[in-house]
């Protein structure tokens, strides 16, 4: 989630895959970390999916809402060195030019944004495990470098970028999550950009 307020475009509607499972409407959601209502706040929603490779059906494993304040808190706790390494990883490995092109061409087809893993560039519809992330303001999805999908392979590559010290910081922060989510993310890295 970027730190500035330069979002100018909104998706006309929230794509089906981002509809919350824990709430009837996004506007009812609360930050998974601080429990603040997200009605008028900017937040990141990350969802994790498993695909049955026979039927191709996907099922949601968990969803995490993180408000901007908590995002800033976590970002401030991560060392400058880890942040620099993640920026380098993003510049070298992630499909930012593709997303910029989609953004500039005003390409509003959500399938284009979630078709490939943003790290490995492999097709998401062939992946067994993947996460998606989007930025929202209340009930509306914002249009930025996100939404994106990242396969488990890509998530593990991102996870390797962090030092043990940063992992400890993240673990501390994640310990604020409700126990049911904490249990599910135990072995699952997160996008949390």
How far from each other are the two terminal CA atoms of the chain, in whole angstroms? 6
| Nearest residue (CB) to Zn ion, 34 versus 156 | 34
Smallest separation, CB 61 to Zn ion (Å): 21
| 70 in contact with Zn ion (CB under 5 A) | yes
DSSP 146: -
| Nearest residue (CB) to Zn ion, 68 versus 99 | 68
Smallest separation, CB 2 to Zn ion (Å): 17
Residues 19-38 that bind Zn ion (CB under 5 A): 31, 33-34
Smallest separation, CB 157 to Zn ion (Å): 27
- Rounded CA-CA distance 163/143 in Å is 31
Smallest separation, CB 153 to Zn ion (Å): 29
Backbone angles phi, psi at 69, to 5 degrees: -65, -45
Crossing angle of the two packed helices 164-174 and 68-77, in degrees rounded to 10:
150
Give the footprint of Zn ion on this chain (CB under 5 A): 31, 33-34, 67, 70
């Amino acid at each position: 989630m970027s730190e500035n307020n330069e979002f100018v475009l909104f998706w006309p509607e929230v794509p089906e895959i981002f509809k919350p499972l824990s709430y009837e409407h996004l506007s009812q959601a609360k930050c998974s970390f601080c429990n603040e209502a997200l009605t008028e706040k900017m937040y990141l929603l990350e969802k994790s999916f498993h695909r049955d490779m026979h039927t191709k059906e996907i099922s949601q494993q968990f969803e995490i809402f993180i408000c901007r304040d908590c995002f800033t808190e976590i970002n401030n706790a991560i060392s400058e060195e880890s942040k620099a390494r993640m920026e380098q990883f993003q510049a070298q490995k992630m499909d930012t030019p593709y997303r910029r092109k989609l953004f500039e061409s005003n390409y509003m087809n959500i399938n284009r944004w979630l078709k490939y893993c943003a790290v490995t560039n492999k097709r998401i519809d062939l992946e067994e495990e993947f996460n998606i992330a989007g930025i929202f303001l209340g009930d509306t999805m914002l249009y930025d470098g996100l939404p994106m999908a990242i396969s488990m392979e890509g998530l593990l590559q991102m996870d390797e970028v962090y030092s043990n010290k940063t992992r400890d910081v993240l673990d501390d922060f994640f310990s604020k999550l409700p126990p049911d989510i904490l249990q599910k993310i135990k072995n699952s890295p997160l996008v949390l950009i």
